[in-house]
């Protein structure tokens, strides 16, 4: 990420996917204890962050006009990990298949090319917590898999993946740095 944020971008705005409320209970159980950003962020997959601080619905609709809804499974078998340093890890659920989200993000990034502060390759993920070591990340990963499996204890074929039908994208914003992000707009993916 760039060290200095361009003036047209805002850390108070993001373009995201929000999982269905049917699958958020186990995610929130994990995040409540393990995610230092729990109070500020809902469970989400960032598509573009930081984003623009004003209404841009027409541009989003233009970017996704050819995108159809799709199914995604958030896999906890095993969860993924980003290593920021020796003592800083982020544990996350991996969406599968990832290509539909990657194509959606690429279309949005092409439309919003001015939102280019993050030069890292896009990795779709839903963060569930942070850990201070590889061992702690592994322990958290085991806990994540158990909580998700317990939630899905219904004979499901894949008891460690939370299924979700993605049919809209959301603009979320917060007031102030410590405020909680709230949905300010929802844009439906095209169904025909």
Residue 157: band (very low, low, confident or very high) from pLDDT cuts 50, 70, 90: low
Give yes or no for a cis peptide into 101 (omega within 30° of 0): no
Residue 192: band (very low, low, confident or very high) from pLDDT cuts 50, 70, 90: low
Three-state secondary-structure class, residue 80: strand
One-character DSSP codes across 96-132: ES-HHHHHHHHHHHHHTTT-----SPP---EEEEEES
For residue 87, with 0-12 CB atoms within 10 Å meaning exposed, 13-18 middle and 19 or more buried, which class applies? exposed
Report the run of H or E that residue 165 belongs to, with start and end.
strand 161-166
Residue 48: band (very low, low, confident or very high) from pLDDT cuts 50, 70, 90: very high
Backbone angles phi, psi at 12, to 5 degrees: -100, 10
Backbone angles phi, psi at 23, to 5 degrees: -115, 0
Considering the chain, what percentage of its residues have pLDDT values greater than 90? 71
Considering the chain, what percentage of its residues have pLDDT values greater than 70? 95
Domains defined along the chain, listed by start? 13-188 (3.90.1140.10)
Q: Which of 25-34, 92-101, 111-120, 121-130 has the lowest mean pLDDT?
A: 111-120
Averaged pLDDT for residues 135-140: 96
- Say whether pLDDT at 74 is over 70: yes
Summary mean pLDDT of the chain? 90
> What's the whole-model pTM score?
0.88
List the structure tokens of 177.
Answer: 């740095």
pLDDT score recorded for residue 49: 94
Tally of residues, the chain? 192
Residue 161: band (very low, low, confident or very high) from pLDDT cuts 50, 70, 90: confident
Rounded-to-integer distance, Cα 163 and Cα 165, Å: 7
Rounded-to-integer distance, Cα 6 and Cα 115, Å: 9
Residue 2: band (very low, low, confident or very high) from pLDDT cuts 50, 70, 90: very low
Residue 85: band (very low, low, confident or very high) from pLDDT cuts 50, 70, 90: confident
């Amino acid at each position: 990420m760039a060290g200095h944020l361009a003036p047209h971008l805002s850390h108070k705005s993001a373009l995201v996917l929000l999982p269905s409320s049917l699958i958020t209970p186990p995610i929130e159980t994990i995040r409540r204890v393990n995610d230092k950003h729990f109070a500020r962020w809902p469970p989400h997959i960032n598509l573009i962050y930081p984003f623009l601080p004003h209404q841009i619905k027409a541009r989003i609709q233009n970017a996704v006009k050819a995108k159809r809804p799709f199914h995604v499974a958030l896999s906890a078998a095993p969860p993924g990990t980003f290593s920021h340093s020796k003592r800083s890890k982020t544990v996350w659920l991996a969406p599968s298949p990832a290509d539909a989200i990657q194509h959606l993000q690429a279309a949005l990034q092409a439309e919003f090319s001015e939102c280019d502060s993050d030069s890292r390759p896009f990795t779709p993920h839903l963060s569930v917590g942070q850990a201070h070591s590889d061992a702690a990340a592994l322990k958290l990963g085991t806990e994540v898999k158990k909580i998700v499996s317990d939630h899905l204890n219904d004979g499901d074929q894949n008891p460690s993946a939370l299924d979700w039908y993605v049919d809209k994208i959301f603009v979320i914003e917060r007031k102030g740095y410590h405020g909680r992000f709230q949905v300010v707009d929802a844009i439906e993916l095209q169904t025909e």
